[in-house]
Amino acid sequence: MTTPTTRPALDLIRRPRRNRLSSAIRDLTQETRLLVTDLVAPLFVKEDSGAPEPIASMPGQFRYNIADLVKECGHLQSLGIQAVALFPQIASEHKDPHGSYALAQKNVLFAAIKTVKDAHPDLVIISDVALDPYTDHGHDGLVDAQTGIVMNDATVEILCLLSIELAKSGADIVAPSDMMDGRIGAIRTALDETGFINRGILAYSAKFASAYYGPFRDAVGSKKSPDAPPLDKRNYQLNPANAREAMLEARLDEEEGADMLMVKPAGLYLDIIRQLRDRTALPVAAYQVSGEYAQIHAAADRGWLNLAATRDESLLAIKRAGADIILTYFAKDIAQTLA
């Protein structure tokens, strides 16, 4: 048995383990750090004034009434989280094939944005721009009755009007998540022409047709009944097999005036995040989606994984891949841990 003063058997100049021997050394040499200021907390707002409703498929997440949403935003801000992304749950009686309620002045999202902004003026509010919360078919746009395909240009017209209303309500950043062609340029023009030149656009540039969105659709009520066929959004969302196409979409969004570019989902698309980071000078966002969150919780509930360790590793990987901004349902938990 050798002692520390005994010459080792291997004659090595480089021993990388020297930089891993103690916690203090590991901290000094750590290359990637997850900061609370990297995080955006997605939150759900409902139309009624009842108590917050737990979302069964997303442990620890709730649909909030506006008053409780304001309180939650204040708590998040006290933990150092500087941005939230708001999504509405719209009652079924307000939905139709055209998503008409998206532009109704009584849309709960408009009231929620205004109330949160009034209470927390320094909190950045990111608002989703898409029609799926408002359509009875659950698609992100207007559907051609004959072909079943979402109509691009007609949908973009409505998204421009919705973006203006969101900006009027106080949203700092609008986030088109629909994947229609040309919508970034059209929204930028619409915002500029109505005086909202300083409102940002976070483009869902590489949004893939993923199987990991199910719990989110539960949360906003756009998921179809169990006996209905699953929503097929492949005629507008990206093929998970296509990396080059994702880069094309991101380049077009940048050329059209996007201020930030997003990859969604995050954990399964770390290669896309890295490729995008290497190709743009714009901030890159990544959305750790509901299915990623739910599967970590499910495995931890069964004792198969350590919740905190798996959560932290998953987010660190997203940051390491190149994301500047991470939308995650773990935001509050991470903020509390870092605090």
Q: Given pLDDT bands bounded at 50, 70 and 90, which one contains residue 14?
A: very high
Lookup: tokens for 19: 């930089």
Place of tokens 């021993």: 15
**DSSP single-letter state for residue 172:** S
- Phi and psi at 310, nearest 5°, equal -70, -45
Catalytic residue among 46, 95, 117, 207: 207
Please give the radius of gyration of the chain, using alpha carbons only, rounded to the nearest integer: 22
Q: Is 207 a catalytic residue?
A: yes
Q: Which of 98, 99, 142, 107 is nearest to 127 (CA)?
A: 107
Cα 116 from Cα 111, distance rounded (Å): 9
109 touches 170 (CB < 8 A): no
CA distance 73 to 116: 7
Q: How far apart are CA 216 and CA 227, in angstroms?
A: 19
The whole-number pLDDT of residue 9 equals 87
pLDDT digits (tens, 9 = 90+) for 77-108: 999 999 999 999 999 999 999 999 999 999 99
Distance of CA 4 to the CA centre of its chain: 51
CA distance 176 to 178: 6
Please name each of the domains of the chain with its CATH number: 34-338 (3.20.20.70)
CA dihedral 49→294→82→31, nearest 10 degrees, is 170
Q: What's 282's DSSP letter?
A: S
Residue 50 phi, psi (nearest 5): -70, 175
In the chain, the percentage of residues whose pLDDT exceeds 90 is 91
Per-residue pLDDT of 124-163, as tens digits, reads 999 999 999 999 999 999 999 999 999 999 999 999 999 9
pLDDT in tens, 194-210: 999 999 999 999 999 99
Burial of 218 (0-12, 13-18, 19+ CB in 10 A): middle
Considering the entire predicted model, what is its pTM?
0.94
Q: Whose CA is closest to 44, among 110, 88, 109?
A: 88
Least confident of 30-39, 194-203, 212-221: 212-221
Choosing from 223, 264, 319, 332, the catalytic residue is 264
